[in-house]
Homo-oligomer: A and B are copies of this chain.
Amino acid sequence: MVGNAQSESRKCVVVIGAGFAGIEVARGLGGSRADVTLIDRQNYHLFQPLLYQVATAALSPANIAEPVRRLVRHYPNVSVMLGEVTKISAMEKRITLADGMSVPYDILVIAGGATHAYFGHDAWAKFAPGLKTIDDARDIRSRLLLSFERADMSDDPAAKKRLMTFVVIGGGPSGVELVGSIAELARHTLAKDFRHIDPASATVMLLEAAPNLLSTFPPGLARYTELKLKALGVTVRKNCAVENITADFVEAGGEKIPTALAIWAAGVKASPLGKILGAAVDKSGRIKANRDLSVSGYENVYALGDVAQVKGEDGKPLPGLAQVAKQQGQYLGRALARKIATGASASDFKFRDRGNVAVIGRHAAVADFSWAKLKGTPAWMLWAVVHIYLLAGLQHRLLVSVQWLWRYVSYDRGARLIVRSTDGGGDGRC
């Protein structure tokens, strides 16, 4: 059924993962002499750079998720399949899904992305969720809002204080954006909504094990970021490694910080597809791929995006960024289409650094380009324009723009829903 070659020269290409990398590969092969099957665990492509805004009640999940089918609907040679790959048999050239279905391939593209890594402390995952999926974001949003609700109902000052302490672990771009957004939620959005607590008095804390925030940015921008976060009321602790996390506190730098919600933004590891394939992986579980994204020792197997470790021209591994994944996807889509048509092999992938941006709060962001370093309002405007532009689809752009403008004017956020995923359903309101 899937990818039955119509003529002998057609190839079955299976692409695992519909993130930035996988989508671009499938699109690049659209209209080519390949029968493409794009497989993902979810039916949507997620715009992860704005996921923290879902976690902080500013956007709805659907605003940053586009159906995979919609993104490839114009390519009759691209099929979409919902499923989780549990087995890759390179000998038989077929993959197997969790439901037992098996799909043959001529060419396999692995773009399974990454998830959080707790550096050997997997028990922390329960208390300090990471932020990689829509489910994660919904869960964090609910816990965040529920903490204020519980603090409002509590008569115990210590419990109130604990419930209104939020700890973000990891001072990279994700941690900075998340902690800034939580601070604005508490200081502005919720400020007038409670009678028995003052949400603006919440403790919002950022812990970073290294001596500086934003280690990949120039030191000047990192210092600016720290000052801006402090101005937003964020407590920033550097050189502060986390020693333990429980349901009640985070222990870091020798101190126990009572908190009801810690969020993990400190590290990632690759999806288990490298292990499933059996290929050589680095310590983060990333498949060691060649500079043309092929995987040594496997015929017609490619790996790219966050699941792959690919070296740049300087011999250092490329960073795990959306722009790397996207560029690799565009490169590989084109390269495979050409290879299938003419048999020609491609020259190595070259990453073009488009620069990095991180947003802190309103009128506060940092942008690091090869041609300029920006901060403050110019960086913030640039961040907003670039992210609207990068969103897939005009409808998403419109909806996110409306919500951002609304929030700018009113400080209000439109998606303040507490969802208790455990009780699923029930009989309406109380």
Contact = CB atoms under 8 A, between A and B. Distances in A.
Interface of A: 1, 16-19, 39-44, 46, 60-63, 65, 67, 69-70, 73, 76, 79-85, 101, 112-115, 129, 132-136, 139, 145-146, 149, 152-153, 155, 190, 192-196, 271-273, 394-396, 398-399, 402-403, 406, 410, 412, 414-419, 421-430
A132 B428 CA distance: 6
Give me the 10 closest cross-chain CB pairs, A-B, nearest first.
A62-B415, A60-B60, A115-B427, A69-B193, A41-B430, A84-B430, A115-B428, A67-B416, A82-B149, A43-B418
Contact of A399 (B39, B399, B418, B422): B399
Contact of A41 (B1, B76, B101, B426): B426
A63 B136 CA distance: 20
Given A101-B153, A195-B79, A414-B396, A426 B62 contact: no
Contact of A129 (B193, B394, B425): B425
Contact of A112 (B60, B79, B429): B429
A134 B271 CA distance: 31
A79 B196 contact: yes
A133 B133 CA distance: 23
A1 B154 CA distance: 9
B403 A402 contact: no
Contacts of A65: 417
A160 to B, nearest CB: 11
Contact of A63 (B60, B134, B272): B60
A107 B65 CA distance: 46
A262 to B, nearest CB: 16
A230 B42 CA distance: 33
A193 B67 contact: yes
A116 to B, nearest CB: 8
Contacts of A115: 427-428
B271 A427 contact: yes
Contacts of A422: 424
A145 to B, nearest CB: 6
A419 B46 CA distance: 13
A204 B9 CA distance: 41
A339 B309 CA distance: 73
